Structure 1
Amino acid sequence: MRKTFLWLLLWLSPLAYGQAQAQTTISLWNAHNPSSYLDDVLALFHQQNNNDVIKNNFLSEKLREEVLNQASTNSLPDVLYVPADFVGINQTLSASLVPDEWLSEQLDQRILASGQVDGLQYGIPLFQGNHLVLYYNKSLVTNPIASFEALSSQASDQLLSHAFPITWHYREMYWFVSFLGAFGGWPLEDDKVTLDTPAMVQALNYYRGLKDKGLVDPNCNHDCGVQRFIDGQSPYMINGDWTYQTLRDALGDKLGVALLPQAEAKPLVSMFSSYVLVFPDPDQDKLPALREFAKFMQGERAQQIVYQNGRLIPANLDALAGIEQLRDDNDLVIEKQMTLSRAMPNDKLMTIAWIAMQRGFNRFMDHGYTAEQTATMMQSLADAQINRAGLR
């Protein structure tokens, strides 16, 4: 699939930065939820620029596969707002290179790199983080756990009265990878998919053991877990910084944030990344509006809204400095956990690794595969796809 370069389109269109169009409608697919903060930013953009952004939310758990399916039929929107690892499949998405003049000088360079592949900029990051933390309900928990072993042995009658003392999106691989990291594994090492490893076997067995002990409900997805935690049905929840504002609104001062618990004295290793704006094969007539939109979303006012209404750490350093006095103890724990997290790879192989892990894990949970069989299957699935795609 051909690759489109924005700078080439700009060169071919002498009117691109000339006379402004009366109004342009931009289609945007959003994969970050909850996203009320994004609605607020888009409304302000419309007020200031007289352009409309029509947002559609991607709520599917099979996000990557669905986007790839849409890409194969040339049915992608003007803008994708997706996890940063999507830039690794820039060719499949016909993602355009982002011109330097579209980028704000105030962006944190470390976070800016999350939108790059081989030093080329395919995505514009809007915030930093996207990592997991441990949330706890202060009305149910006095001292938050530091390990899953402590959770198993905690003697609080009030805690043990709950059917599942902790909740998270058990079947989603973004959570599972934190356990893989604890046992010394990682989906990609040295530009290779590494799934058939002793660390994977250890992580799978430990992970299923938590389910077998009745600590976590394997059939409770993201939204189910959030609701159980808010309702006080589970005193603890592992979830991302993206849910912080929702939980804060619901629980107020009862909300606590702690570092991720350890597994067999090994710290969980969450991934961190950013969410980025990606421009698939842009319409030449929309370039002026897309440039306005890109610059606006990186601006200090929009970034402040991202923090104030979404509680997400801005990528704009000026905006970050401006919220210093607004951060509380929970905010500081979230930021500390990010420093202990590991960057999600942007390599195109990461998408293959995600899909292989998910399919193998489903066999592990539902079809009686051993951990060893599962690790072997995951690697085989990944290798087969790598060969088909000609990536070796």
Structure 2
Amino acid sequence: MSITKDNLIYVIMFVLLAVFAYMDYRYLDLEFLAYTNGDEFMQYHSLLRMYEGIINFNIEDLFRFDSYVYGFIWHLINLIVVAPFHMIGDTQMAIFMPRFLSGVFSVLCLFMVFKIARLFLDYLYSYGIVFLVIFMSGFYIEGYIFKPNVFQALLLLVSCYFLIKDNFEFSKNFYFGILFFGLSAGAAKIQAIMFLPLIYVYIGVVFLRKPNISNFRFVLKYGIFSTLAIIFIFIITNPYILHPRGFGAWWWLFMHNMQSNATNHGSYIDVSFSEKIFGVVDFYYFEIIVFIVIMVFCLFFLYRFNKNKNLDVFFPIICSMLISFLYLFFFVNKAWSGYYISSIYLCLLAFIPFFIMFNSKKLLALILLLQMGGGSTK
């Protein structure tokens, strides 16, 4: 079968999965894991304890995992992929599989970016955005780390896909968008709540377009529904919080995480704005010039709101992304690449209206050249 424009994305995905498999199948010695990756060592034992809880019919051990700010579903998915290897005592594969699963989620993120781009752009620009991702070193680093950051980003992208498909009609696609947003916080990581403006701004566009009492009631109705739906999804995906001890453990970890964000994980060293820009965004994701260009465009796009209703669906995405960056830059005292991955993927979606409004192959080539010389090579 010849490679066509349609199936090229699957070839790219297969190649990237092979890259992740190669990256992941190294440093698999359990006795050194605590020294090479302490978090991974703890999470390995969390999954082992959950596995033993199942085979010993001990429900308490099933819910005694490492971090309660990570969704129970994420732990459960990882447990499913490692359980066969715990059964046969293959420690190395039990370490390998969660890493590879992160790689799978990363490749699926890439696919969702392409799928959303193809709703608006031709193949050239859609694959151009794909290669913006491929040229990011953070794409590979986050796809290797055994954490739910990329899983959160994937669910958030799926939520955006359905909201874009809905295009303010509040059809079944809207409800799917709410479902996957709720899963991004409940099944993946509570940090996803910083993207709540995505939902609220999406609903609020109805009132912004035509401010009147009827639309205000509409916005209030759907805002309350969405909030309750997200809370409900969070609870059913983390049922342990219905138990007083489970809720206590979750609340303690949540507050500890908030304190960690303020104290730079207990170091009490202030991380400067420039460290976050150059040490995270420029180093792991976007060449700084590319990042500045897309940020300026986003502000310009917000200024032009309601001038092109076919593109207004990107208004809540861009608003949410900008708010998340403001939060990370000025209210989170950390320079951790994983905290930024969801914001980066939403930023990539901003290139869709960018290339629609500035339809230039030379501009696309220039941005890709700049990106190739940016964070991916540092």
Give the TM-score band, short-chain normalised.
under 0.3
The answer to which structure, 1 or 2, has the higher relative contact order (CA under 8 A, 6+ apart) is 1
Q: TM-score, normalised by structure 1?
A: 0.25
Q: Please identify which structure carries the higher strand content.
A: 1
Q: TM-score, normalised by structure 2?
A: 0.26
